[in-house]
Amino acid sequence: MINEFKSYRNKELKSFTFSNLLIVFLLNDSLEYLVDLNLDISIIETLKLLLTGSFLYLLVFVLDSLIPVSFKSKILLYFRIKKEYKFFQMPGEYIFTKLINGSNDLRINKERVMRHYKYIYDRMPENDIKRREFENENWYKLYRKHEKKGRIETTQKEYLLCRDMTSNFCLFILIYITLSCINMVKLSYYISGYFLFMYIILLICSRNKANRYITNVIVEDIYQDEL
């Protein structure tokens, strides 16, 4: 049985990788070079073969397999640091603290959350590191209760897709820079700008999807008795 959460390797991730190859290809002035070669097969047909064939799937699979899950989190700027900087913490590590301080999500009522998770707030550790571990552990327990719900599966897949797109793109950048160091490709200002711009966009998308995914588990849990 095919794992649905990784089915995007053969769809979205493959198309995303192909798009990056094509954009860097054009920014590198390689298209003009290939046109001058007067090849028998057209460039459009060549690119179509790469897109529809197994080459890109294998490339995506290898790139994704090279990156450990823990490192994928670091690419999204989630670090295990001692200081209380929420920007560098995974959303599950401060979700209950965030809810008690008031959430911007209109689906969540503070008083309702306080009543529903009183057993969690009563046992909340004061130490920052222990508190973050405690919050993440309790959030994960809630996730396991609702992981088969459609809303949770959808937002989880969206988060995993954005996360893997970001990690694959960073590895793509690393490979390209390595190739530029041995003069196999050119690293221009245009390409560097594209790399930076796309990383920022992917970072924002991934972190937004992570927050949505974490919050949806809470929403599913506090309203489960009314469904």
**In the 8-state DSSP scheme, what is residue 89?**
S
Per-residue pLDDT tens digits for 6-28: 555 557 777 777 777 777 777 77
Q: How confident is the model at residue 182 (pLDDT cuts 50, 70, 90)?
A: confident
- Nearest to 180, CA basis, from 168, 166, 197, 192: 192
pTM: 0.80
From CA 164, how far away is CA 146, in angstroms rounded? 23
Q: 210 CB contacts (<8 Å, ≥6 apart)?
A: 76, 90, 91, 159, 163
- Nearest to 209, CA basis, from 141, 157, 140: 157
Both structure tokens of 142:
């809630």
- Asked if 212 and 155 count as a contact pair (C-beta separation under 8 A), the reply is yes
Per-residue pLDDT tens digits for 23-45: 777 777 654 444 454 444 455 55
Crossing angle for the helix pair 12-27 and 189-222, to the nearest 10 degrees: 160
Give me the half-sphere count of Cα atoms (radius 13 Å) on the Cβ side of residue 133: 9
Task: Give the model's pLDDT for residue 6.
Answer: 59
Mean pLDDT of 82-91: 81
**In the 8-state DSSP scheme, what is residue 6?**
G
Per-residue pLDDT tens digits for 138-174: 999 999 999 989 889 999 999 998 998 899 899 889 8
